[in-house]
Amino acid sequence: MIAVVGRRLLALPLILFAVALLVFLLAWASPYDPAEAYVQGAAAGDALTPELREQFERAWGLEDPMPVQFLSWLGRLVQGDLGESRYLSGAPVVDALKDRAYPSLVLLGSALGVVLVGALLAGVAAAAFRDSPLDWLIRTSAYAATFVPSFWVALLAVFVFAVQLDWLPAAGASNLRSVDGGRVEFRHLLLPMLTLALTQHGWFTLYVRDTLLEVLRDDYVRFAEAQGVGRVAVLFRHALPNALIPFVTLIGTHIPELIGGSILIESVFGWPGLGNLTRQAAIAVDIPLLLAIVLVGAVLVVLGNLIADLLYRVIDPRIRESMR
């Protein structure tokens, strides 16, 4: 087990290096121009003159060739310095990330929880009542969730639950009048959390259903049935634990999708998290900030996979045994 963790963690810097290089190359090849984005964002209708561009690029250290820029960024990173955000007018990137991490983690974590619980219930229900209208409904909603754009769902959710029904606040993470910033209130969390969960549950639900149907054909399930074990017990105590084992790895591999989904959802709901910051950084072509966000995302993905992998080893007694 320690060897597994060690190997993954040793690979992490390599992965991060590759990711960072990729982002750098993409930004370099992109037609988006930081100076132009800055001028457009800061001042309506100003023109970017060549002199001004030159001054900006000097101030931002952009006049060096790309490899030099990358290496100097890397050098600072090694010393734990993520640089300064251009979009946030020179604020240290680390501070920007710190401010935004908490709301994002709350949103992602709770949405993941809802996805898991919801997908389990829906997947089990669909498998238990296979080919029934309920199964059809659950499958249709799961398929829909995989291809309906999440921002569309988010806008719809705002329209229905905030505008029409007036049940929940439409934006922000806490009450604007009575609360100081930086907090997350449950009432505010609900809508973005449920929207993110709804748009992400598709694969999970289908996976639970299909794995469960497969497991239900396995010998030990049929043996349990032959022993007279009740339908519910067969489903939950005999079939589900086996279906859950591969499900755990799915969680790990789906973290990137969850993070991706959160960018749009956070933007629509004005959520003060990393997803929203990603959008802002992208619009502003704020390379240092984007790099940092992508790196944080990459770390989350690697860690998520690692945890899923370890969990997988813990809950499957056959693998656990072979590791002792």
Partner 1 sequence: MVRRFGWSTPLVALLALVALVGVACGGDEDGSTGGSADNDGRALVVALTSEPSNLSPVFLDVNAGNWKIFSGLVAFDQDLQLVPDLAAEMPEYSEDGRTVTVRLRQDVTFHDGEPLTSEDVVFTWNAILDTDVATPIRERLALDGLIEGVRAVDEFTVEFTLSRMDPAFMERLYTGIVPAHLLEGEDLNSTSFNREPVGTGPYRFASWVAGDRLVFEAYEDYYGGAPAIKRVVFTFVPDENARAALMGNGEIDFTRMSPRLAENFEANEDVRVVQVPSASMYQLTLPNKHPAISDVRVRQALSMAVNREEMAATLIGPLGQPAYGPFREGHWAYDDSGHVDYDPQGARDLLAEAGWTESDSQGFLLKDGERLTFTILYLASNAEDQEFALALASDFQEIGVDARVEVGSNPGYQDRLDADAFFHGVGMPYDPEYVMRARFHSDYADVAANPAGMANPDVDAALDASRATLDPEERREAFIDLQRALLEDGSYLIIAERPTVVLVSADIEGLVPQMAGSPHAFVRGLSWNLEDWSWK
Partner 2 sequence: MPAIEARALSVGFRTERGVVQALSDASFAIERGETLVVIGESGSGKTVLAHALMRLLPRNVTLAGEVDLEGQPLLALPEDEMRRVRGRRMALIPQGAGSALNPVRRVGGLMLEMARVRGLGQGEAREALDGSLRELGLSFQQVAERYPHQLSGGMQQRVVNAMAMVGEPSVVIADEPTHGMDPELVDTTAEQLGMIARRGAALLVITHDLRLAERLGGRTALIYSSYIVELRDTAAFFSQPEHPYGRALLGALPEHGGVAIPGVSPELTQLPRACAFAPRCPARFEPCDEAVPPMFPLPGGGEARCYLHA
- Rule CB under 8 A: say whether 91 interacts with partner 1: yes
Distances, alpha carbon 297 to alpha carbons 203, 228, 255, in Å? 21, 49, 9
- Rule CB under 8 A: say whether 173 interacts with partner 1: yes
- Rule CB under 8 A: say whether 55 interacts with partner 1: yes
Distance CA 319, CA 92 (A): 45
Q: What are phi and psi of 169, to 5 degrees?
A: -65, 150
- Rule CB under 8 A: say whether 39 interacts with partner 1: yes
Dihedral sign of CA atoms 290, 295, 298, 304 in order: negative
Among 13, 149, 181, 230, binds partner 1 (CB under 8 A): 181
Quote the least distance from Cβ 210 to partner 2, whole Å.
18
* Count, residues near partner 2 per rule CB under 8 A: 25
Quote the least distance from Cβ 266 to partner 1, whole Å.
8
CB within 8 A of 181, min separation 6: which ones? 174, 272
Q: Which does 318 bind (CB under 5 to 8 A by kind): partner 1, partner 2, none?
A: partner 2
CB 210 within 8 Å of CB 199? no
Q: Which stretch, 23-31, 56-64, 102-110, 310-318, contacts partner 2 (CB under 8 A)?
A: 310-318
Q: Which does 226 bind (CB under 5 to 8 A by kind): partner 1, partner 2, none?
A: partner 2
- Please provide the DSSP assignment of 133-151 as one string: HHHHHHHHHHHHHHHS-HH
Distance CA 254, CA 305 (A): 9
Q: Which does 129 bind (CB under 5 to 8 A by kind): partner 2, partner 1, none?
A: none
- Rule CB under 8 A: say whether 316 interacts with partner 1: no
Q: Which does 222 bind (CB under 5 to 8 A by kind): partner 1, partner 2, none?
A: partner 2
Residues 211-250 as x/- pattern, contact with partner 2 by CB under 8 A: -------xxxxxxxxxxxxxx-x---xx--xx--x-----
Residues 223-242 as x/- pattern, contact with partner 1 by CB under 8 A: -------------xx--xx-
Helices (H), the chain: 2-29, 34-42, 50-59, 66-78, 93-128, 133-147, 150-157, 186-216, 219-226, 231-233, 240-268, 274-283, 287-315, 317-323
- Rule CB under 8 A: say whether 171 interacts with partner 1: yes
Q: For residue 309, how many other CB atoms are within 10 A of its CB?
A: 17
Place of tokens 């959710």: 157
- Rule CB under 8 A: say whether 99 interacts with partner 1: yes
Structure tokens at 187: 């009432």
Site for partner 1 in 247-276 (CB under 8 A): 267-273, 276
Distance CA 188, CA 195 (A): 12
- Rule CB under 8 A: say whether 113 interacts with partner 1: yes
CB 72 within 8 Å of CB 64? yes
CB 308 within 8 Å of CB 300? no
Q: Which stretch, 94-102, 198-206, 220-228, 297-305, contacts partner 1 (CB under 8 A)?
A: 94-102
- Which C-beta is closer to partner 2: that of 113 or that of 230? 230
Q: Cα–Cα–Cα angle for 257, 263, 266, nearest 5°?
A: 125
- Which C-beta is closer to partner 1: that of 129 or that of 186? 186
Quote the least distance from Cβ 178 to partner 1, whole Å.
5
- Rule CB under 8 A: say whether 315 interacts with partner 2: yes
Q: Which stretch, 40-48, 72-80, 274-282, 314-322, contacts partner 2 (CB under 8 A)?
A: 314-322
Contact residues toward partner 2 (CB under 8 A) are 218-231, 233, 237-238, 241-242, 245, 315-318, 321
